Structure 1
Amino acid sequence: MVAPARRVALLGGGFSTDGDGLLDDWLLSHVGRPRPKVCFVPTASGDAPAYIDQFLSAFESRGCEPSVLSLFRRELDDEALRRLLLDQDVVYVGGGNTANLLAVWRAHGVDRVLREACNRGTLMCGISAGANCWADGSHTDSFGPLTFLRDGLGLLPGSVCPHYDSEPGRRASYRQAVATGMLSAGWAIEDGVGALFADGRLEEAVSRTPEARLYRVQAEGANEAVERALPCRLLAESRDA
């Protein structure tokens, strides 16, 4: 029996930031079930109630079977938590503090269950911290100033930088981290982009707007990094077609 591919989707938007729903609809198109089970993990925001309400409203209206894994008000024992995550078609991780997210997950053993779920075919995805967490390393403001974090789950090889176009200093700081070897080569996500990976290989890149891009950023020479813009399919055109 062939093992399913490890699938990870990096989102530069979604229900919490966009009104058109294009990225979330694109994400669900890769599930292949009429009523997919989608579990929201809002750890990075401290399980913010308003964020949870946004998720439930957005995914109930899409005909999904949504659920939420709360760890700051945890009610599930270890076995129930494992059953919940392994029963999902999609695990959707929200934004916030990447370093705190990873620390809390490890304290509760969630990191191990997520790896198991991913190996079984569950689609892992998220925005901002929820994109950072899947890679080997990431570019983050978890500690205040922009810096690097080499402590991700490693389900996606390399590094990730979110908000590449929208937060001052992101582009230069991430390129410096890659150029100096503090982070390995990786993926820079502009707001509005979605990128799907299978077993670490880019399968598809899409965009809500003509301007938004996905970049591959790699070290080149001594303390230099180069970025290469990758083609993105425009979702608005796909919906209008």
Structure 2
Amino acid sequence: MPVPPGPRLALLGGGFSTDDDGLLDDWVLGHARATRPRVCFVPTASGDAPGYAEEFLAAFRPRPCAPSVLSLFRREGDDRALRSFLLAQDVVYVGGGSTANLLAVWRAHGVDRILREALDGGTLLCGISAGANCWAEGSHTDSFGPLTPLPDGLGLLPGSVCPHYDGEPGRRPSYRAAVAGGALPAGWAVEDGVGVLFAGGRPAEVVTRRPEARLYRVEPDGAGGVVERALPGRLLGRGDGPRSP
């Protein structure tokens, strides 16, 4: 499948940390700009949990890619080295955890600015949970305990994002209420098992590893409610893996 032109982001409702089949991770690698892409995992939202990083490396080392991990809590290298490292990546894969903490740490280290530059340069930015939330203008998060709207993000994707739309109790009604009341702008609700590739801020491809999983566009209806529209997705199979080197 040809890679869409323009800046590209991918929101993931699964991956190495939740699924055994590896379909969504293979799909991401298939959209990288290189046949053996450099893939950097960024576990900031988890506080750079060592086990999370090891899980990523164990999943990606056997694949046709060059995996690495960026730790900001145990950072090595100056600002120039950090920028050079991130701009050299073909894929930046952001893990789950606290969206609010991720944004604060990234801004302290200037990672937010570097990732904007990387996106413009052709790097595929992607992630799961907090790693999906962070790219948008706002998101639905449990960073503060209860589920709550967070009108903050990098703004690389217009609108808002809600992960785990079908996978966690309360997600769907809480996100719908936030959009209906204007606490969050219209956006994208991602069910577990879904992957969506955005090119130029618009969905270019929707895939799923589960036949029943969906991506939804959620917009205010102007009367105190929302309009929720499901976008069709293609069921992934083993033929959707990364290209051979």
Judged with a 3 Å threshold, the aligned counterparts in structure 2 of structure 1 residues 83 and 147 are, in CA distance, closer, same or farther, namely same
Mapped partners of 1:6, 1:118: distance in 2: 6
- In structure 1, stretches of 5+ residues that fail to align are none
Asked if the contact 2:37/2:90 (under 8 Å) is kept, the reply is yes
1:149-188 correspondence runs (5 A): 149-188=150-189
Verify: 1:234 aligned to 2:235, yes or no.
yes
Give the TM-score normalised by the residue count of structure 1. 0.96
| Bigger mean CA offset, 10-19 vs 216-225 | 216-225
Asked if the contact 1:42/1:52 (under 8 Å) is kept, the reply is yes
How far apart are residue 34 of structure 1 and its match? 2.0
Q: Secondary structure at the match of 1:44?
A: helix
1:66-145 correspondence runs (5 A): 66-145=67-146
How far apart are residue 238 of structure 1 and its match? 5.2
How far apart are residue 175 of structure 1 and its match? 0.4
Aligned to 1:51: 52
Q: Secondary structure at the match of 1:160?
A: strand
Asked if the contact 2:136/2:156 (under 8 Å) is kept, the reply is yes
Mapped partners of 2:205, 2:183: distance in 1: 27
Query: Structure 1 counterpart of 2:45, which letter?
Result: A
Verify: 1:223 aligned to 2:243, yes or no.
no
Asked if the contact 1:209/1:236 (under 8 Å) is kept, the reply is no
Aligned to 2:243: none
Query: Structure 1 counterpart of 2:224, which letter?
Result: N
Query: Structure 1 counterpart of 2:197, which letter?
Result: L
Verify: 1:37 aligned to 2:38, yes or no.
yes
| Bigger mean CA offset, 225-234 vs 31-40 | 31-40
Aligned to 2:197: 196
Mapped partners of 2:20, 2:237: distance in 1: 13
Query: Structure 1 counterpart of 2:13, which letter?
Result: G
Mapped partners of 1:220, 1:197: distance in 2: 24
Mapped partners of 2:187, 2:129: distance in 1: 15
User: CA offsets, 1:45-103, max 9 Å, x none?
Assistant: 00011110011111111121111110011112100000000000000000000000000
Q: Secondary structure at the match of 2:237?
A: helix
Mapped partners of 1:87, 1:32: distance in 2: 12
Query: Structure 1 counterpart of 2:101, which letter?
Result: N
User: CA offsets, 1:182-240, max 9 Å, x none?
Assistant: 1111000000000000110110000001011000000002221121111000003856x
Query: Structure 2 counterpart of 1:207, which letter?
Result: T
Asked if the contact 1:37/1:65 (under 8 Å) is kept, the reply is yes
Structure with larger RCO (C-alpha < 8 A, sep 6+) = 2
User: CA offsets, 1:108-143, max 9 Å, x none?
Assistant: 111000101011110000000000000000000000
Mapped partners of 2:203, 2:209: distance in 1: 18
Mapped partners of 1:106, 1:235: distance in 2: 36
Asked if the contact 2:33/2:122 (under 8 Å) is kept, the reply is no
Mapped partners of 2:113, 2:149: distance in 1: 23
State the identity %: 75
Q: Secondary structure at the match of 1:39?
A: strand
